[in-house]
Amino acid sequence: MLVFGEEEMKKLFKSIFVVIFWVFVAFALLFSPRFFKIFGQRKAINVFMWSGVVDPCLFAKFEKETGIGVNVSYYDGNEELLVKLLATGGRGYDLVVPSDYIVAFLIKNNLLKKIDKTKLDFFDKLNPTLIGLDYDPKNDYSIPSEWYILGIGFNRSLFPKGLPEASWDLLFDPLKIPQNIVVINDSRELITLALWHKYGKIKPLTTPELKEIKKILINQKKHIEAYSDFRGDFLLESGNCSLAILPSSYAWRTAAEDSNIVFKIPKEGTFISIENYVIPALSKRADLVYEFINFLFRPEHQKHNFENQILLSTRMDADYMFNEPFLKESLEYVNPQSDKRPILFHNVLTDSQVNEIWMAVKGK
């Protein structure tokens, strides 16, 4: 049996203390973000958004300036966003960025807080053509954060005899669709485009009309290289496809690097998609969210995102956009002085209709 004297006991306790101290230091360094969040009551907001619409450096800048952390997670499409919000009731998110027609659905299902416009220092600077729209007539629940116009991107090198006239027929008429095209992967939006092309308006589908739209999209699939919301411009640039449905903002980025990429608005008119900042009803950090939104809407930050070809600003005073030749045609659709107006996507389709059509198309 070992017997320790007083000096030995002091040395033993000292050694144990040193070991415990360094274990604690190592633990703190390894888990510091979580450690300080738990014990330091670090302020933070949870954001759910599309990737590539805000330069991540701005998140770091905001945190450095305010001490408010920004935890960002990304979704790949509106359907994914909708499924997650319905499953959670919005719990766990403080700021979400849905497209226009999704906003209407979220409002209807009481998933959003009302916006306190007195806490926004830029609302009077927003483009009047992008507010007061039917998905949220008074913008009680949503703030337009960015926009884009849908059009057709061509790879000029694959049309040696000249580009065809820009028309939605090139995407939906089986007699005119070229091989190897790219279309959007958002089921509800693609079905709505087919509906509008076939019937000239967006309306609820009867059973015979549903069968007709299903037939159009099944025939279209024979010509499709890919369904993609984010890779259409890259597939176009690589020469893997001859034309693609593209958002104007994506086409702009690619055309800046490749003169063979041409973007045209179809002669029949086109659709606009407006992304929006909304606050889930269950969020308890609305004041922090307002601080973050005001930060993102500062003119210098809007300009930064534009100059890095990330987003098209919804501020009316973002006059630098109008100096970009490539965007001239698209900007006509949001210019308050222009007679041109794009069409908004409307959620007139039931979930069962969307699922029935999409499963028939993707299953072929």
Work out the pLDDT band at 163, boundaries 50, 70, 90: very high
Beta-carbon contacts of residue 211 (< 8 Å; ≥ 6 apart): none
The one-character DSSP state at 99 is B
Work out the pLDDT band at 58, boundaries 50, 70, 90: very high
Work out the pLDDT band at 76, boundaries 50, 70, 90: confident
| C-beta of residue 100 within 8 angstroms of C-beta of residue 202 | no
Distance CA 50, CA 82 (A): 13
pLDDT of residue 110: 95
Using the structure block, give the residue that is written with the tokens 């500062």: 298
Work out the pLDDT band at 176, boundaries 50, 70, 90: very high
Tell me the backbone φ, ψ of residue 35, rounded to 5 degrees. Answer: -60, -50
Beta-carbon contacts of residue 14 (< 8 Å; ≥ 6 apart): none
Distance CA 141, CA 137 (A): 10
The one-character DSSP state at 119 is G
Sign, Cα dihedral of 102, 106, 109, 114: negative
Percent of the chain at pLDDT > 90 equals 73
Closest CA to 47 of 72, 69, 66, 75: 72
Domain at 148-272+345-363, CATH homologous superfamily: Periplasmic binding protein-like II (3.40.190.10)
The one-character DSSP state at 259 is T
Q: Is the pLDDT of residue 33 over 60?
A: no
pLDDT of residue 4: 47
Q: Is the pLDDT of residue 42 over 80?
A: no
Report the range of poorest mean pLDDT among 13-27, 210-224, 347-361.
13-27
Residue spans of the domains in the chain: they are 11-38, 39-146+274-333, 148-272+345-363
Distance CA 255, CA 156 (A): 11
Residue 254: alpha-carbon gap to chain centroid: 18
Euclidean distance between the first and the last CA atom of the chain, given in angstroms as a whole number? 80
Q: Is the pLDDT of residue 316 over 70?
A: yes
Do the domains 148-272+345-363 and 39-146+274-333 match in fold?
Answer: yes
pLDDT of residue 1: 47
Work out the pLDDT band at 37, boundaries 50, 70, 90: very low
Mean pLDDT of 312-317: 96
pLDDT of residue 53: 85
* DSSP state letters, 299-344: HHHHHHHHHTT-----BTT-GGGGG-GGGHHHHTTT-TT-S--PEE
| C-beta of residue 44 within 8 angstroms of C-beta of residue 92 | no
Using the structure block, give the residue that is written with the tokens 């299903």: 214
pLDDT of residue 21: 53
Residue 75: alpha-carbon gap to chain centroid: 8
Mean pLDDT of 187-193: 94
Distance CA 110, CA 197 (A): 33
Mean pLDDT of 109-129: 97
Neighbours of 267 (CB within 10 A): 11
pLDDT tens digits along 239-285: 999 999 999 988 998 888 899 999 999 999 999 999 999 999 999 99
User: How far is residue 217 from each of residues 54, 180, 220, measured CA to CA in Å?
Assistant: 33, 15, 5
Q: Is the pLDDT of residue 22 over 90?
A: no
Distance CA 111, CA 97 (A): 13
Q: Is the pLDDT of residue 10 over 70?
A: no
| C-beta of residue 97 within 8 angstroms of C-beta of residue 145 | yes
H or E segment to which residue 243 belongs: strand 243-247
229 vs 48 pLDDT, higher one: 48
pLDDT of residue 39: 43
Work out the pLDDT band at 80, boundaries 50, 70, 90: confident
Q: Is the pLDDT of residue 36 over 60?
A: no
pLDDT of residue 2: 47
Q: List the structure tokens of 203.
A: 């309306």
Domain 39-146+274-333 has CATH 3.40.47.10: no
pLDDT of residue 15: 59
Sign, Cα dihedral of 214, 189, 113, 139: negative
Please, what is the average pLDDT of the chain?
A: 89
